[in-house]
């Protein structure tokens, strides 16, 4: 990963790249969309399920500052599989390609494991985990066809204080589930030319637009650095465009098969 504060080489430039950013109407998603468009020169399809007027206002601001349309707001609920698939199809039709996908949807739930009800548990998993699952599954076929692209998963990991363990166990469960999915995507896409990175900083309190890591680096900068890492991944010359690791059987017992990908 490149060091923050250093200049980018031509190969590291994000100028003109088309990047999908989810959760873009607030928090780190908003900050990342703004940074990509204003500073990095990328074109950003900024997706949110609500408060899209904030993205629309940002798009106008960026256009006035740069003289270019760099932010394209879209209202979509990525926690709905059909909507996620449709929006990626429409983006491909309109722009021809997608260079990267950044999942920045995050719902903090301050409710203990003994108190949580079905609705709150399901909603947390739907928003924090399934929105990433549906988005990645929708965009990966396009990235694999291109044999190039990046996937960045923002998954802030709270410190395991006694207070946190008591009050936010459901949020932690969603974070662990998202980490497991990201590890699986990384293995399955190895050799395809599609890079996958998880950004899991420990927040100093609530996750907001100005949130910084302990090193003092803003989280949107961490996401951009991770994005550059993913785009530096290249597929081997001999790799098939649809390369996917084939599972190997480790052992079978009682009709159940343990496989490694």
> Could you say which of 30, 134, 154, 171 is catalytic?
171
- CA dist 169 and 7 (Å) reads 41
- CA dist 245 and 247 (Å) reads 6
95 catalytic? Reply is: no
> What is the CA 19 to chain-centroid distance, rounded?
10
Residue 148 in tokens: 């190039």
Backbone CA torsion sign across 41, 36, 3, 187? negative
State how far the alpha carbon of 83 is from the alpha carbons of 41, 80, 90, 192, in Å.
28, 5, 10, 26
Q: Could you tell me which residues are beta bridge partners of residue 199?
A: 154
Contact assessment for residue 182 and residue 227, using Cβ atoms and an 8 Å cutoff: no
- CA dist 153 and 259 (Å) reads 25
Catalytic amino acids? 171
């Amino acid at each position: 990963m490149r060091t923050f504060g250093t200049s980018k080489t031509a190969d590291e430039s994000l100028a003109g790249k088309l990047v999908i950013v989810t959760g873009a109407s607030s928090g780190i998603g908003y900050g990342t969309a703004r940074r990509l468009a204003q500073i990095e020169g990328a074109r950003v399809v900024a997706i949110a399920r609500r408060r899209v007027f904030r993205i629309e206002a940002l798009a106008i601001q960026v256009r006035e500052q740069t003289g270019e349309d760099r932010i394209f707001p879209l209202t979509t609920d990525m926690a709905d599989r059909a909507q996620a698939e449709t929006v990626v199809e429409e983006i491909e039709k309109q722009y021809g390609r997608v260079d990267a996908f950044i999942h920045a949807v995050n719902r903090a739930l301050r409710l203990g494991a003994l108190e949580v009800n079905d609705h709150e548990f399901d909603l947390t998993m739907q928003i924090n985990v399934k929105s990433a699952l549906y988005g990645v599954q929708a965009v990966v076929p396009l990235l694999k066809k291109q044999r190039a692209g990046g996937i960045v998963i923002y998954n802030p990991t709270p410190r395991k204080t006694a207070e946190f363990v008591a009050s936010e166990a459901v949020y932690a469960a969603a974070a662990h589930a998202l980490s497991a999915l990201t590890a699986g995507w990384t293995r399955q896409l190895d050799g395809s030319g599609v890079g996958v990175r998880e950004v899991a900083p420990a927040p100093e309190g609530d996750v907001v637009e100005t949130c910084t890591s302990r090193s003092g680096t803003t989280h949107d900068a961490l996401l951009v650095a991770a994005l550059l890492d993913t785009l530096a991944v290249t597929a081997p010359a001999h790799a098939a465009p649809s390369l996917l690791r084939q599972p190997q059987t480790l052992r079978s017992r009682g009709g159940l098969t343990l496989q490694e990908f």
